[in-house]
Amino acid sequence: MSNIFDDARSRLHEVFENVAVTDDVRERLMHPKLALAVSVPVRMDDGRLRVFQGYRVQYDDTRGPTKGGIRFHPDVSLDEVTSLSFWMTIKCAVAGLPYGGAKGGVAVNPKELSRLELERLSRAYIRAIADVIGPERDIPAPDVYTNATIMGWMAEEYSQIRRRQVPAVITGKPVHLNGSLGREAATGRGALFVLQQWAQRQELVPTETTVAVQGFGNAGYHFARLAQEAGYRIVAISDSKGAIHSEEGIDVEQTMHHKRTHRELRAMLYCDASVCDEAQQDTLSNNELLELPVDVLVLAAMENQITAENAGRIRATQILEIANGPTNAEADSLLENRGVPVLPDVLANAGGVIVSYFEWVQNRAGFYWEEAEVNARLQTIAEREAKAIFELADERQVSLRTAAYIQALQRIAGAIRERGTQEYFTEHDVAKAADH
């Protein structure tokens, strides 16, 4: 494996120093259980046949069937997908879900595809991995540049292959195709619950707290919208094309409406009216947004956004990770040395997989919950696990990320231990020899 995965699992070394686990646990968590690379042939609208590279990695299934999204992005690689599946393993354990971790993806720029080509790609990918997924084995979900519609196509394709309805094979589906209410906003909502718990401990007043959000996709948008409703002042937002900054505050809903209408970011003045005027804005690069002097920097874009190269220029007083792996291990150490707390991805962005779990449960039961119930259950889990991790960090005097990994490792190690470890079997052999 190359850099991303090596960096991802390097976090375990510090955790192993803070939690007693057997060699069996160490060995199991250093390697993925299954890594699949597939060719995905697609007939394009002009008649050409293109073959895309696809992947599905199941990292660990000690605690249950594996769970993890599918992303469509030009930079998808086996190394990246393996890293993401590792983080999903930790994240599911952090949230206390009965899952292991997995991830999948196709190396493609979906913006270059027509909708018909996108549907063919989605269905072809599921045909390629159908033998290794299923409600009791591995349950995919949306990720970067995939959405509910794509999940609906994929679930339908799997059902056609199996010749029966199997709604629990994939989560994040449209509500009318057995999806769960509350799933679309779940990642952003869960991140806000975590931030609110942190704000209470740090005595942060939302109306006096400035927030910059890198990444204005589904998770970043819903977080920013809900955070603004809770009173936080959103002063900067970015997407893949660039960033905007306004100290007046940005009306998130109006800004998203403008983006969808005009395909550009433009800061709309925060106000209570149904139509808002444009705010005075600065146009920034993504890198410049990262270095703004704000109270909370929200990373909701891609991995490796803060590295050793720019960590020293980060002026935010705390960081909230909604993307997977946006801060690498070296940058983590530099930020910790400067006293900048990082609310880690494996806790902060777990809202999506928590509500995906709810969808899976509802699909299997054939009984569906109201949105208020979904959101309440999400809040219970997110706040409970955040509080436990914050207290563990204080107790052990470790970073929030290390505390989250300790919590996850304790749960994974417990499941591995109950199946038998070297110590268990050696103890049995020693006792048997003593009897003779």
Residue 240: the pLDDT is 82
pLDDT at 271: 40
Respond yes or no: is residue 241 known to be catalytic. Answer: no
Residue with tokens 């609310």: 343
Identify the CA nearest to 393 among candidates 14, 115, 67: 14
| Mean pLDDT computed over 255-274 | 67
Residue with tokens 């150490």: 333
**What's the pLDDT at 164?**
97
CA angle in degrees (0–180, nearest 5) for 302-133-179: 70
Segment 220-234 shows an average pLDDT of: 97
Burial tier of 38 (Cβ tally within 10 Å: 0-12, 13-18, 19+): middle
Q: What is the pLDDT of residues 343-367, one digit of tens each?
A: 999 999 999 999 999 999 999 999 9
**Ranges for all domains in the chain classified under CATH 3.40.50.10860:** 3-177
Any residues with CB less than 8 A from the CB of 66 and at least 6 apart, and which?
58, 59, 60, 85, 88, 99, 100, 101, 102, 137, 138, 139
From-to residues of CATH 3.40.50.720 in the chain: 186-348
List 103, 173, 387, 432, catalytic entry: 103
Q: Which residue has the tokens 């000690």?
A: 62
On average, the pLDDT of the chain sits at 91
> How many beta carbons lie within 10 A of that of residue 75, not counting itself?
12
- Torsion angles phi and psi, residue 223, rounded to 5: -60, -50
Residue 413 CA to chain centroid, in angstroms?
22
pLDDT digits (tens, 9 = 90+) for 60-118: 999 999 999 999 999 999 999 999 999 999 999 999 999 999 999 999 999 999 999 99
Residue 265: the pLDDT is 67
Q: Is 14 exposed, middle or buried (0-12, 13-18, 19+ CB in 10 A)?
A: middle
350 and 141 in contact (C-beta within 8 Å)? no
Question: 186-348: which CATH architecture?
Answer: 3-Layer(aba) Sandwich (3.40)
Architecture, CATH, for domain 3-177: 3-Layer(aba) Sandwich (3.40)
Using a cut of 0.85, tell me whether the model's pTM lies above it: yes
